Structure 1
Amino acid sequence: MRVPESWLRSFVSPDWTSDEIADRLTMAGLEVEEASPAAPPFSGVVVAEVRKVERHPNADKLSVCEVDAGDGTLRTIVCGAPNVAAGMRVPCAVPGAVLPGNFVIKPVRMRGVESAGMLCSARELGLSEDHSGLLALAPDAPIGAGIRDWLKLDDTVFTLKLTPNLAHCMSVFGVARELAALSGAELQTPEHPPVAPAIVDKLPVKISAADLCGRFSGRVIRGVNAGAPTPDWMRLRLERAGQRSISALVDISNYVMLELGRPSHVFDLDKIHGGLDVRWARKGETLELLNGQTVQLDADVGVIADEKAVESLAGIMGGEATAVSDDTRNIYVEAAFWWPAAVAGRSRRYNFATDAGARFERGVDPATTVEHIEYLTRLILDVCGGQAGPIDDQVTRLPERAPVSLRTARARKIIGVDMADSTLTDAFARLGLPARLQGDRIVVTPPSWRFDLQIEEDLIEEVARIWGYDRLPQRPPRAPAALMAWPEARRTVSRLKRTVAARDYQEVINYSFVESGLDAQLGLAPEGSSAIRLLNPIAAQMDRMRTTLWGSLVENLRANLNRKAGRVRLFEVGRVFFADPAVPAGPAQVHGIAQPRRLGLLAFGPAVDEHWSAAPRAADFFDMKGDLEALAGEGLTVEAAEHPALHPGRSARVLLEGRPVGWIGEMHPAHQQALELPQAPVLAEIELDPLLAAKVPVYREVSKFPPAIRDLAVVVPIDIPAARVLGEIASAIASVPAAALVKNVRIFDEYRGKGLENKEKSLAFRLWMQDTARTLSDADAADAVQGIVGWLADRIGARLRG
Structure 2
Amino acid sequence: MKFTLSWLRDWLDTDADPQSIADKLTAIGLEVEGIHNPAEALAAFRVAKVLTAEKHPQADKLQVLTVDDGSGEAIQVVCGAPNARAGMLGVFGPPGAYIPGSDLTLKVAAIRGVESRGMMCSARELELGEDHDGIIELPDDAPVGTAYIDYAGLNDPVFDVNVTPNRPDCLGIDGIARDLAAAGIGRFRPRASAALPGGFEPDPKVIVESGSGCYVFWRRVIRDVRNGPSPDWLQQRLKAVGLRPISALVDITNFFSIDQARPLHVYDVKKLKGHITARRARAGERFMALNDKEYEATPDDCVIADESGAIGFGGVIGGESTGVDENTTDVLLECAWFDPAAIAATGRRHGIVTDARARFERGIDPMKLSSAIEDAAQMIVELCGGEASEPRISGEFPAEGYPNRDNVVPYRPARLAALAGIDLPVDEQRAILGRLEFLALDPKDGESWLNKGQQQELVEKYDPASYWFVRAPTWRPDVDGEADIVEEIARIHGFEDLPSTPLERGDGVARPTATRTQLMERRLRRTAAARGLDEAVTWSFVSEKEAAAFGGGDWRIANPISEDMKVMRPSLLPGLISAAQRNLNRGASSVRLFEIGRRYLGDSEHATLGLLLTGDRTSRDWQTGKAQDFDAYDAKAEVLALLDAAGAPTANLQVFPDAGPTWHPGRSATLRLGPKTIVASFGELHPRLVAEHDAPGGTVAAEIYTDAIPAQRSAGRARQAYSPPALQSVVRDFAFVVPSDVSADALVRAVRGADKASITSARVFDRYLPKDGDLSLAIEVTLQPGDKSFTEAEIADISRRIVAAAEKLGAQLRS
State the TM-score, normalized to the length of structure 1. Answer: 0.80
Compared CA separation, residues 53 and 646, structure 1 to 2 (3 A): same
> Is this contact kept in 2: 1:28–1:468, CA < 8 A?
yes
Aligned to 2:245: 245
Q: 2:673, 2:108 → 1: CA distance?
A: 80
1:477 aligns with 2:487: no
Question: Would you say 1:573 and 2:596 are equivalent positions?
Answer: yes
The answer as to whether partners of 1:99 and 1:124 remain within 8 angstroms in 2 is no
Structure 1 CA distance for aligned equivalents of residues 612 and 587 of structure 2: 17
Counterpart for residue 584 of structure 1 = none
1:172 aligns with 2:186: no
Matching residue of 2:219: 218
Deviations 1:263-289 (A, max 9, x none): 111111111122223234455544333
**1:469-508 correspondence to structure 2 within 5 Å:** 469-470=495-496, 472-475=497-500, 477=502, 479=504, 491-508=519-536
SS of residue in 2 equivalent to 1:609: strand
Q: Which moved more, 1:379-388 or 1:694-703?
A: 694-703
CA-CA distance at 1:224 after TM superposition:
1.0
| Shift in CA distance, 180/77, structure 1 to aligned 2, threshold 3 Å | same
Q: Quick one: distance in 1 between partners of 2:691 and 2:107?
A: 58
Q: 2:546: which partner in 1? A: 518
Of 403, 422, 432 in structure 1, the residue corresponding to residue 427 of structure 2 is 422
Alignment of 1:655 onto 2:672: yes
1:248-647 equivalences under 5 Å are: 248-282=248-282, 284-344=284-344, 347=347, 353-398=353-398, 399-401=402-404, 402-437=407-442, 438-470=464-496, 472-475=497-500, 477=502, 479=504, 491-521=519-549, 523-524=550-551, 531-559=554-582, 568-580=591-603, 594-604=604-614, 609-610=619-620, 612=622, 618-633=629-644, 634-635=650-651, 636-647=653-664
Question: Contact (CA 8 Å) 2:737, 2:776: kept in 1 or not?
Answer: yes
Deviation at 1:377, TM superposition (A): 1.1
> What SS class does the counterpart of residue 408 from structure 1 fall into?
coil
1:538, distance to aligned residue in structure 2 (A): 2.7
Computed over aligned residues only, the root mean square deviation of the Cα atoms, in angstroms, reads 4.8
Q: Deviations over 1:80-131 (max 9, x none)?
A: 34566899x7544499998889x99999997799999864434666756865
Q: Amino acid of the residue matched to residue 386 of structure 1?
A: G
Checking the alignment, whether the CA contact within 8 Å between 1:92 and 1:117 is kept in structure 2 is: no
Q: Distance in 1 between matches of 2:84 and 2:383?
A: 26
> Residue 714 of structure 1: CA displacement?
10
Alpha-carbon spacing, 1:705–1:79, altered in 2? closer, same or farther (3 Å): closer
- 3-state DSSP of counterpart to 1:626: helix
1:688 and 2:679 are equivalent in the alignment: no
Structure 2: distance between partners of 1:116 and 1:323: 48
Amino acid at match of 1:451: P
Tell me if structure 1 keeps the 8 A contact 2:543–2:564. yes
- Measured after TM superposition, the shift of residue 450 of structure 1 is 1.1
- State the partner residue of 1:664: 682
CA contact (8 A) 1:282 1:297 kept: yes
Query: Structure 2 counterpart of 1:415, which letter?
Result: A
Q: 1:213·1:278 contact (CA, 8 Å) conserved in 2? A: yes
Distance 1:275 1:699, change over 3 A: same
Map residues 65-214 of structure 1 onto 2, 5 A cutoff.
79-81=79-81, 91-93=90-92, 119-122=120-123, 133-135=134-136, 146=146, 147=148, 150-183=151-184, 186-208=187-209, 210=211, 212-214=213-215
Aligned equivalents of 2:239, 2:596: Cα separation in 1 = 45
Provide closer, same or farther for how the CA distance between residues 640 and 35 of structure 1 changes in structure 2, counting only shifts above 3 A. closer
- Deviations, residues 335-363 of structure 1 (Å, cap 9, x unaligned): 11122222337556666633222222222
Cα displacement (A) at 1:333: 0.8
Alpha carbons of 1:364 and 1:676: their partners in 2 closer, same or farther (altered >3 Å)? closer
More off after superposition, 320-329 vs 661-670: 661-670
Residues in 2 aligned to 1:701 and 1:106: alpha-carbon distance in whole angstroms: 76
Equivalent-residue separation in structure 1 for 2:35 and 2:635 (angstroms) = 51
Question: CA 1:302–1:141 in structure 2 vs 1: closer, same or farther (change >3 Å)?
Answer: farther
1:663 partner letter: S
Rounded Cα–Cα distance in structure 1 between residues aligned with 2:158 and 2:684 = 54
Q: Deviations over 1:585-607 (max 9, x none)?
A: xxxxxxxxx22221122334666
Residue 411 of structure 2 aligns with an amino acid whose one-letter code is L
Whether the aligned pair in 2 keeps the contact of 1:94 and 1:116 (CA below 8 Å) is: no
Change (3 A) 1:359 1:790: same
Bigger Cα displacement from structure 2, 696-705 vs 190-199: 696-705
- The C-alpha deviation readout for 1:34-88, integer Å capped at 9, x for no partner, is 456673263783486x89999767544446789999999999986434566899x
Contact 2:287/2:294 (8 A) holds in 1: yes
CA distance in 2, matches of 1:188, 1:555: 48
More off after superposition, 208-217 vs 245-254: 208-217
Q: Measure the CA separation in 2 of the matches of 1:640 and 1:273.
A: 68
Partner Cα distance (1:465, 1:220) in 2: 43
Compared with structure 1, are the counterparts of its residues 712 and 429 closer, same or farther at alpha carbon in structure 2 (3 Å cutoff)?
Answer: same
Q: Deviations along 1:673-728, whole A, 9 cap, x unmatched?
A: 54577866333212134569789864575444455667889999986756456557
Q: Distance in 2 between matches of 1:382 and 1:231?
A: 11
The alpha carbon displacement at 1:653 in A equals 2.7
- Matching residue within 787, 791, 799 for 1:773: 787
Deviation per CA, 1:301-339, whole angstroms, max 9, x where unpaired?
A: 443222224322322332222221111111111111122
Shift of 1:462: 0.9
Query: 2:44 and 2:782 mapped to 1: Cα distance?
Result: 85
**Distance in structure 1 (CA, Å) of the matches to 2:239 and 2:266:** 21
Residue 419 of structure 1 deviates from its aligned partner by 0.7
Contact 2:658 2:664 in 1 (8 A): no
Deviations 1:195-224 (A, max 9, x none): 222122321323346352222111222211
- Tell me how far apart the structure 2 counterparts of residues 311 and 71 of structure 1 sit (CA, whole Å): 59
Q: Is the 8 A contact 1:69 1:143 kept in 2?
A: no
8 Å CA contact retained: 1:38, 1:127: no
CA–CA distance in structure 2, aligned partners of residues 488 and 158 of structure 1: 47
Q: Percent identity?
A: 35
2:762 and 2:779 in contact (8 A); partners too:
yes
Question: CA–CA distance in 1 between the matches of 2:468 and 2:738?
Answer: 84
Partner of 1:591: none
Deviates more, 1:436-445 or 1:371-380: 436-445
Question: Equivalents in 2 of 1:485, 1:687: separation in Å?
Answer: 23
| Inter-partner Cα distance in structure 2 for 1:62 and 1:352 | 49
Aligned residues: 766
Where structure 1 has 5 or more consecutive residues not aligned to the other structure, the ranges are: 581-593, 734-738
Using structure 2 for the length normalisation, give the TM-score: 0.79
**Alignment map for 1:47-62 (pairs within 5 Å):** 59-62=59-62
Give the secondary structure class of the aligned counterpart of 2:12.
coil
Paired residue type of 1:686: I
In structure 2, how many angstroms separate the alpha carbons of the residues matched to 1:655 and 1:374?
A: 73
1:436-487, Cα deviation, whole Å (9 max, x unpaired):
24432333232221122123332222111211234x0554535469975778
Whole-Å separation in 2 of the counterparts to 1:619 and 1:37: 45
Alpha-carbon contact 1:489-1:695 (below 8 Å) kept: no
